[in-house]
Structure 1
Amino acid sequence: MIMTKKKLTLTALILMIFTSVFGFTNMPRAFFLMGYASIPWYILAALTFFLPFAFMLAEFGAAFKDSKGGIYSWMAESINPKFAFIGTFMWYASYIIWMVNVGSGIWIPLSNFIFGVDKTQSWSIFGLNSVQTLGILAIIWIIFITVVSSKGLDKIKKITSAGGTAVALLNVILIVVGLLILVLNGGEMAQPLSGGAFTSSPNASYQSIISIFSFLVFAIFAYGGIEVIGGLVDETENAEVTFPKAVTISALVIAIGYAIGIFVMGAFTNWDFAYTQFSSAETTLGNVAYITMNNMGYQLGLAMNLTDAAAVTMGNWFSRYMGISMFLSLSGAFFTLSFSPLKQLIEGTPKEIWPSKWTKTVNGLPTYAMKIQGAIVIVIIALVSFGGDSAAKFFEILTAMTNVSMTIPYIFIALAFMGFKNKDSIKKPFEMYKSKSKAKLATYMVILVVGFANVFTIISPAIDGDIMTTVWSIVGPIFFGGVAWWLFSRYENKQK
């Protein structure tokens, strides 16, 4: 029965936020791109975007603790329903593409766990090539996720807690082992701290103003995803106290965790080490996290005076642990994202917009709509995996269309926050921003930072000669916004 259903505790909610937002791979990627110089940019992104935005969500969550619609309900009450629907629909569309991406990519960490290296490019079943094989696995994965998720929040909670715990432990290992290597090496950092280490990158590709600005975009996106848990306010125990506390604790832990993690990496990672391969062409944003963890195990072995062969073996085992941790973490995020954005879209918006079957819930979740969502994701995966070059290009276009669409809703939410603060009729049991002037400052800061990131994301490909990606980045928000406008206008006409 719904009345006896277990509610989310503070710990469970923090782990859900941690799993949805914190990306362990963001730290080795940041160190790969900017070295120690990435830390100030991560702190800047946390201070100007993540923390003020998280506190906005905490206020919204406490005020609308009985609302099932998440960010839609917040924006609809604060501004108006059409504004809210357009912002929510654009945000939801981006998660469909996320599921397509991760459905195929989740097998890379699993391969690292099993083999110690990524062998997915050589996988084949039924004589299919690797892309088609990963497509089949992704389709099976989507079916599995949809079936398990539709059984209810309790099942999802166990998996996301396992994912959050695995990544939390991965970070503990990074910090503890990094410090141990530092002690064993007599306090000498592998990457020297001298001469502008926190202001200039060791990466030759990140010396210009344009490339450095592109890193700020990367840092902002590293904090994305916290709005997903907006739909869980009504599922949270003692929500007006627990929800803002969970958001606040998570925001601080994630921001500090990123900074410490990046710094500790310098204890065992140097751009000139042959084994690290940071300066080689083989190192990419996709595999740098596994190379980093492998190198950490290798450097620990050397610091313990083991043989080179034993150090290599130790490195491979660190890579394996990285693989299983990332697999569990991505699985946890997948379970949360398979229902939370859709739950907010379906339950928060007027029921008349959707077919009646879509709005029916089982175990508190819109299970029929989840099946439709799963079918859409499967169709896109099948098209991309089996459609050849034209389908691959189609997916590149879809990705470009959603890059900007994913973050524009942050601007919608920030604008709605000002409406929220100005409406005295809305009861506010929790307030981080005690005065309207502080709320305005936070709003303008978030809009400015996210707006800058989006403008740069749009023009950056054109600067590099890729005009079409820039065009599709502009078309994406217009297209998704237009679809949302049409759906809501049709609903308004029906009401009239």
Structure 2
Amino acid sequence: MKSKKKLTLIPLVLMVFTSVFGFNNISKAFYKMGYAAIPWYILSGLTFFIPYAFMMAEYGAAFKKEKGGIYSWMEKSVNGKFAFIGTFMWYASYVIWMVSVATEIWIPLSNLIFGRDITENSSVLGIQSTKVLGILAILFVIIVTFVASKGLQKISKITSIGGTAIALLNVVLLVGGILIFILHGGKLAQPITSVKTFIDSPNPASNSIMNLLSFLVFAIFAYGGIEAVGGLVDETEKPETTFPKGMLVSAIIIAVGYSIGIFMCGIFLNWKELSGTHGVNLANITYIIMQNLGYTIGTSIGLGQAAAVSLGRFFARIVGLSMFLAYLGSYFTLVYSPLKQLIEGTPTKLWPKLIGKIDEDGIPRNAMWIQCIIVCVFIFLTSFGGDGVSQFFSYIVLMTNVAMTLPYIFIAIAFTGFKKKKEIEKPFEIFKSYRSAVIAAVVVTATVFFANLFTIIEPILQSKPDIKSTIWMIIGPVFFSIVAFIMYGRYEKKIKE
């Protein structure tokens, strides 16, 4: 049998990059807070992302032969029931993510082709735009599942394209910002007057405690998703060295990249002028910022008005292409990796034979196609089911708001058990002592717990309290935990019998 080609460092880093880094998080952060966003991104990186990535690196090196990713890590560190509840909740959230992104992916493609988002008001052969998007999304999910089921090499190639596209977009922002800085004689469009520029947002409304807490939550969640790559440790070349190196390199690039990107925006954009632009909002801010970059480069090098505007539109289209490829890359990773961890890591008897079957090449094809059917049914119902179904789906999205990030707490808690167990061989260690590991676990747990707590109570604290949203966000983790608890309980009963 032909030996299976494994992941090397660069494809692994690009996979992490597409799973975690969101270029639009830079533009949204600048639009919300200006330079004052940078300390919050640094704080979130230090209290959550960096220590969490270090944990991933240690887990990955120790469990290099395990196929089940985060499930295997938590099961070996604590127990099976604890691991299954955390992994099931995490996986269920990604299924809903797949439904949402399958329709959202057409927005950057629309910006690439038409220079603007036409997805809301386009119809084909008299079919409404929501139904057109639904049909496109279903076809997209089927094609992605078909290609991904061919194996890791296909997934790796596409995620590498997505990761490279986003990396190049950052290079365009960095080089463009530096060029404008030089051409403008070191003058910033958004001036730095004192240290306060990095503390107080130019938007007075953003400086309230409520808004600052809300932004901290936004910054923490901008770093989520690195654990999705955990299931690929056994598919990595020399995993005990390559995997931790990949985690560390990715963590540093992402954490530094966010802060530099936000600062670069201030070189060519004045916050007050940007916020005063007609029609600007969080949905289109990335395209507007990059269009401004192209336009400013054009005027700075002496192009005429029409040529500068055309250059701006070209830059906006580059964003459309890069964002589309990034979405594509992350979709290919997340249609495969979370499911692989759930099926390969958990006991075979937990699943019906059809779902639990793993093919010879290690691909859970049956489970992937069942996942595809579930996602497609959701898309069909939300696209063709009318307002009632759309409202119901919005409640399901609320259910996964907290459920998607609560597993970070499970992983951090399990890390203390992992460090305590001397029988687990640890070829790579950043937290040399048990005490330092506990401190890291407590910091990560407290940060994510606080972020989720605020996410839950925020709707109640609005001028018009939204109690429904808060209730659905609480129902989500409780519901997924009960389902996982019952499933694992049935498995334990089967084993006893």
TM-score by length of 1: 0.98
Identical-pair percentage: 58
Show the counterpart of 2:303. Answer: 306
Which residue matches 2:382?
Answer: 384
Identify which of 428, 435, 438 aligns with 1:437. 435
Task: Please state how far the C-alpha of 1:284 moved relative to its aligned partner.
Answer: 2.0
- Does 280-289 or 411-420 show the bigger shift? 280-289
**8 Å contact from structure 2 (residues 148, 336) kept in 1:** yes
- Where does 1:187-336 land on structure 2 (aligned, <5 Å)? 187-195=186-194, 196-273=196-273, 276=274, 278-280=275-277, 282-336=279-333
Q: C-alpha separation between the residues in 1 aligned to 2:125 and 2:331?
A: 27
Q: Which amino acid in 1 is paired with 2:376?
A: I
Alpha-carbon distance in structure 2 between the residues aligned to 1:253 and 1:55: 14
Structure 1 residue aligned with 2:372? 374
Aligned length: 492
For residue 4 of structure 1, give the secondary structure of its aligned residue in structure 2. Answer: coil
The answer to whether the Cα contact below 8 Å between 2:202 and 2:272 also exists between their aligned partners in 1 is: no
Determine the structure 2 residue equivalent to 1:404: 402
Preserved CA contact (<8 Å) 1:69 1:344? yes
2:356·2:364 contact (CA, 8 Å) conserved in 1? yes
* Separation in 1, partners of 2:469, 2:121: 30
Structure 1 residue 126 and structure 2 residue 125: aligned? Answer: yes
Match runs of 1:84-233 below 5 Å:
84-195=83-194, 196-233=196-233
1:122 shift after superposition: 2.5
CA displacement, residues 302-356 of structure 1 (integer Å, 9 cap, x when unaligned): 2122222211111100000110011111100000000100000001001111111
Shift of 1:389: 1.1
SS at the partner of 2:323?
A: helix
**SS of 1:286 mapped into structure 2:** coil
Amino acid of the structure 2 residue aligned with 1:358: I
- How far apart are the structure 2 equivalents of 1:355 and 1:37? 52
| Cα distance in 2, alignment partners of residues 452 and 227 from structure 1 | 20
Could you tell me which amino acid in structure 2 is paired with residue 282 of structure 1?
G
Runs of 4+ in 1 over 4 A off after TM superposition: none
1:154 maps to amino acid? Q
Q: Name the aligned partner's letter for residue 476 of structure 1.
A: G
Q: Is the 8 A contact 1:32 1:203 kept in 2?
A: no
C-alpha separation in 1, matches of 2:442 and 2:407: 15
- C-alpha displacement of 1:414: 0.3
In the aligned structure 2, how far is the partner of 1:217 from the partner of 1:124?
37
- Structure 2 partner of 1:343: 340
Residues 423-464 of structure 1, C-alpha deviations (whole Å, 9 max, x = no match): 111111111100011101101000110000000000001111
Structure 2: any 5+ residue segments left out of the alignment? none
> Whole-Å Cα distance in 2 between the matches of residues 470 and 272 of structure 1?
33
Whole-Å Cα distance in 2 between the matches of residues 125 and 382 of structure 1? 17
**Contact map agreement 1:65 1:240 (CA 8 A) in 2:** yes
Q: Is the 8 A contact 2:412 2:444 kept in 1?
A: yes
Return 5+ residue gaps in structure 1 as ranges.
Answer: none
Find the aligned partners of 2:278 and 2:99 in 1 and give their Cα distance: 27
Offset at 1:281?
Answer: 6.3
SS of the residue 1:65 aligns to: coil
Provide the rounded CA distance (Å) in 1 between the counterparts of 2:332 and 2:155.
Answer: 6
SS of alignment partner, residue 433 of structure 1 = coil
| CA drift at 1:128 | 1.3
**Distance in 2 between the 1:471 and 1:252 partners?**
37
Equivalence for 2:456: 458
User: Deviation of residue 206 (structure 1)?
Assistant: 0.8
CA shift digits 1:99-142 (9 cap, x unpaired): 11110000010011111111112322232111111111100100
Matched residue, 1:358: 355
Query: Contact 1:191 / 1:269 at 8 angstroms: preserved in 2?
Result: yes
Residues 58-112 of structure 1 show CA distances to partners (whole Å, capped at 9, x for unaligned) of: 1000110000000000000100000000000000011011111110000010011
Match of 1:424 in 2: 422
What RMSD over aligned residues (CA atoms) do the two structures have, in Å? 1.0
Indicate the larger mover: 203-212 or 28-37: 203-212
Alpha-carbon contact 1:100-1:381 (below 8 Å) kept = yes
Work out the CA distance in 2 between the residues paired with 1:282 and 1:421. 52
Secondary structure of the residue aligned to 1:189 is: coil
- 1:157-204: CA deviation from partner (whole Å, max 9, x where unpaired): 111111111110100000000111111111110111114210011224
Distance 1:281 1:475, change over 3 A: farther
Q: Which amino acid aligns with 1:95?
A: Y
2:198 alignment partner, SS class: coil
SS in 2 for 1:192: coil
Write out per-residue CA displacement over residues 235-284 of structure 1, whole angstroms, 9 at most, x where no aligned residue: 000000100010001101110111111101100111233xx4x3356222
Q: Is the 8 A contact 1:405 1:477 kept in 2?
A: yes
Note the C-alpha offset of 1:364. Answer: 1.9
Q: 1:72 to 1:281 in 2, by over 3 A?
A: farther
Q: Could you tell me how far apart the structure 2 residues matched to 1:149 and 1:345 are?
A: 17
2-side partners of 1:376 and 1:31: how far apart?
A: 37
- In 1, the alpha carbon distance for the partners of 2:203 and 2:466 equals 23
Letter of the structure 1 residue corresponding to residue 254 of structure 2: I
Which amino acid in the other structure matches residue 242 of structure 2?
T
For residues 49 and 87 of structure 2, the distance between their equivalents in structure 1, rounded to whole angstroms, comes to 19
Distance 1:265 1:336 in 2: 30
TM-score, normalised relative to structure 2: 0.98
